[in-house]
Amino acid sequence: MAFDGKDYGKACIIGAGCSGFTMAKRLKDYGVDYDCFEMSDNIGGNWYYKNPNGVSSCYESLHIDTSKWRLAFEDYPVPEDWPDFPHHGQLLQYFHDYVDHFGLRETITFNTAVTNAVRREDGDWDVTLSTGETRTYQWLLVGNGHHWDARTPTYPGLDHFSGYQVHSHNYRDPFDPYDFRGKNVLVVGAGNSAMDIASELSQRPIAKKLTISMRRGVWVLPKYMNGTPADKAVLPSWMPASLGRKLARNMIKKRLGNPEDFGLPKPDHEPLDAHPSVSGEFLTRVGCGDVNPCGAIEKFDETSVIFTDGTREDIDAIVWATGYNITFPFFNSNDLIPEDNRFPLYKRMFKSGYPNLAFLALAQPLPTLVNFAEQQSKLVTALITGTYALPSDAQMQKTILADEKVHMGHFYAAARHTMQVDFNTYVRDLLKEIDRGKKRARAKA
């Protein structure tokens, strides 16, 4: 704690998910005045099952794909009796325990959404709330999440399909509000949600036939390697990322074999050249014949899907596991609206020209997102308290391009790869950047 009684201005935090409340915790530690607004009736955001604000994508059986060792906050360990990969209910309870332990709950305003945020001529922010009130802040910290605005593609004939459709964001269980038992089900997508939901619905007591449409082949990584959670393996800090990826690729191929050996489409990329799909069950379900893998979709008719190779499957229901749009409904300025899910930011936090605006956890970090904003909060708080200074806009733009090459240069082009970062590489650089920013701040003093 470094509270010195100084007035740093007041901050507005949008959202009380894990990014919002860990940001609030650090501001509280440093004596920075803030308001945190949460549109729901409680904390948790995406991990609040059946969240009444509609942002949660948790389904009843969901377990996090990150091991407990990689998702813990630095100053609040996870329970020792947790399994390696906890259920979403356990994670949400951990969030509640964290918030109550550090006395954050009373600093959060619930059932209140930010509906508009406009930067004034003097640089401050006018923030309008769902209550109709407008307040002015010197700092705006955005933690509204990026797994809530579901993206559903369009195909010829889809308007005529007569069956049931649901995005994975709104899928909750196999029986309610739609009973998948005895149905021919199509799952569209090849990410974690697609594989988890396909594995669940393909069990014989549930779907009559489960077909999964994958536009391209993917490498399905296991949760365990050599009897231990795979994400516990950390490469030495001195090892170049390219060498580490090469070693990891060879290990993956050796231990897993080729996806096409399981009947899946052949990948057009190497392992780790895409955001990894992680599942401990999917390949087994495919190998057992419970999942019918197919390629890209060409069109639909009233009762069927037709794939680009000409095959047809009769279907009763579709689960769209097709990702999300990056959306900030409270911004009207064109330069604060992402284009095609691209939103370049300095250190995945800052937009040039907006030195008092920070985005929290707006990234796809591997292997974990839970404590990502906790790391970012270190830099944000240093900026607010004046011990850190941002570089020039020109230098920010140059660094953004260099950082994207480091983190995303090896990924194939896709909407899911617009904000990838490696957690360990990012955090190491973040700590160095804080030191660089402190030198800039001292030089300006």
Domain ranges of the chain: 10-149+325-444, 152-320
Residue 89, classified by CB atoms within 10 Å of its CB into exposed (0-12), middle (13-18) or buried (19+), is middle
Q: What is the pLDDT of residue 73?
A: 95
Across the range 402-421, mean pLDDT stands at 70
Across the range 361-376, mean pLDDT stands at 87
Does 99 score more than 50 pLDDT?
yes
pLDDT in tens, 15-64: 999 999 999 999 999 999 999 999 999 999 999 999 999 889 999 999 99
Q: What is the pLDDT of residue 414?
A: 59
Residue 41, classified by CB atoms within 10 Å of its CB into exposed (0-12), middle (13-18) or buried (19+), is exposed
End-to-end CA distance of the chain: 23
Does 240 score more than 50 pLDDT?
yes
- Taking all residues of the chain, what is their mean pLDDT, rounded to a whole number? 91
- Supply the pTM of this predicted model: 0.92
Q: What is the DSSP letter of 79?
A: P
Among 37-46, 218-227, 271-280, the minimum mean pLDDT is found in: 271-280
pLDDT band at 89 (very low <50, low <70, confident <90, very high): very high
Rounded Cα distance between 185 and 35, Å, is 45
Q: What is the pLDDT of residue 60?
A: 96
CATH code for residues 152-320: 3.50.50.60
Among 8-12, 250-254, 427-431, the minimum mean pLDDT is found in: 250-254
**Which among 364, 393, 391 is positioned nearest to 379, based on CA atoms?**
391
Across the range 348-367, mean pLDDT stands at 91
Rounded Cα distance between 420 and 348, Å, is 10
Q: Between residues 313 and 368, which one has the greater pLDDT? A: 313
CA distances for 95 relative to 88, 172, 367, angstroms = 11, 21, 19
Does 391 score more than 70 pLDDT?
yes
Across the range 135-154, mean pLDDT stands at 94
CATH code for residues 10-149+325-444: 3.50.50.60
Adjacent-strand bridge partners of 359: 142
Does 88 score more than 80 pLDDT?
yes
Q: What is the pLDDT of residue 309?
A: 95
